[in-house]
Amino acid sequence: MERHGFERIETGLLVDTYARSKFEDTRQKAQKFGARGTTLKAFKPSR
Amino acid sequence: MSDALEQEIGIDLALLKSEIQKTYSAVSERPEQDFIFPTGRSWAEDLDYPPELRDVPESAVESFAGVANPFSLGRLSPGERVLDLGCGAGTDSLVAAQMVGESGSVVGIDMTPAMLTKARRAATELGVTNVEFVEGEVESLPFPDENFDVVISNGVIDLIPDKDAVYSEIQRVLAPGGRLQIADVTIQNPVSAEGRRNIDLWTG
């Protein structure tokens, strides 16, 4: 994000999105890769 | 750029785009089906979506496929001009439209026509006039420079291989002092080259 010129970068809590998947295979893959939902806020600098 | 990216990642970008459209057309047209990701109103409620969710028509929320709650990092303010990248059936756009009110505006962009049809219908049902939905791709936004105060998105940027293009476009269309406020998927463990070539991992 910094590389793209954003500042004041803030991230939120991780959400275990794929633990809610109906498919066991998806839940396992998400676990393996550590796939989580998250949130991010960042600002474009003022002039 | 596409050729270099295809070589770097080892996937056919046109095929990936087609598979993404196929998956999300299904979420639009057959929301009752089981998908590999959670969907629908109960999922949005579990993510603690703001109270404006209550008034978003079921026709939109039934196809909600977000990965987290971008509004958890703060509400949007009345009067703000908002762009929703990959708006899908419009749940986040319609939450945003209520937050920014009539003095603000929301534009949702998505590459899946079936989703846009649902989003437009839901906006009419909700009775909001400060939102519009546009077909297009987030790597090449059809908007002027510095046109928005906030860019929101939910579970979309992770689907796009060329993230540099996406963030460059977001930077371009944001007004100075504007902000990006998104939900997305983060991968905490390394993915092998073979894994990166697996389109199913991208479309989830």
Other Cβ atoms closer than 10 A to B192: 9
CA distance B183 to B64: 13
- Quickly list H helices, B64-135: 91-100, 113-126
Q: Which residues 6+ apart lie within 8 Å of A12 measured at CB?
A: A38, A39, A40, A41, B68, B72, B73
Contact call for A34 and B183, based on CB within 8 A: no
- CB-based contact B44:B67 (threshold 8 Å): no
Other Cβ atoms closer than 10 A to B10: 12
- CB-based contact B140:B117 (threshold 8 Å): no
CA distance B25 to B81: 28
- Residues B62-81, mean pLDDT to the nearest whole number: 96
Taking every pair of Cα atoms in chain B, the longest distance, rounded to a whole number of angstroms, is 49
What would you report as the CA-atom Rg of chain B, rounded to the nearest whole angstrom?
16
Nearest CA in chain B to A30: B187
pTM: 0.89
Asked if B150 has any chain A CB less than 8 Å from its own CB, the reply is: no
ipTM: 0.90
Query: pLDDT tens digits for B16-51?
Result: 888 888 888 888 888 888 887 888 999 999 999 999
B77-86, B159-168, B169-178 — which is least confidently predicted?
B159-168
B49 contacts on A by Cβ (under 8 Å):
none
- CB-based contact B78:B100 (threshold 8 Å): yes
Q: How many residue pairs bridge chain A and chain B with CB atoms within 8 Å of each other?
A: 119
Contact call for B43 and A12, based on CB within 8 A: no
Confidence class of residue B1 from pLDDT cuts 50, 70 and 90? Answer: low
The residue among B23, B20, B3 whose CA lies nearest residue B11 is B3
Query: pLDDT tens digits for A1-47?
Result: 888 999 999 999 899 898 888 888 888 888 888 889 999 999 999 97
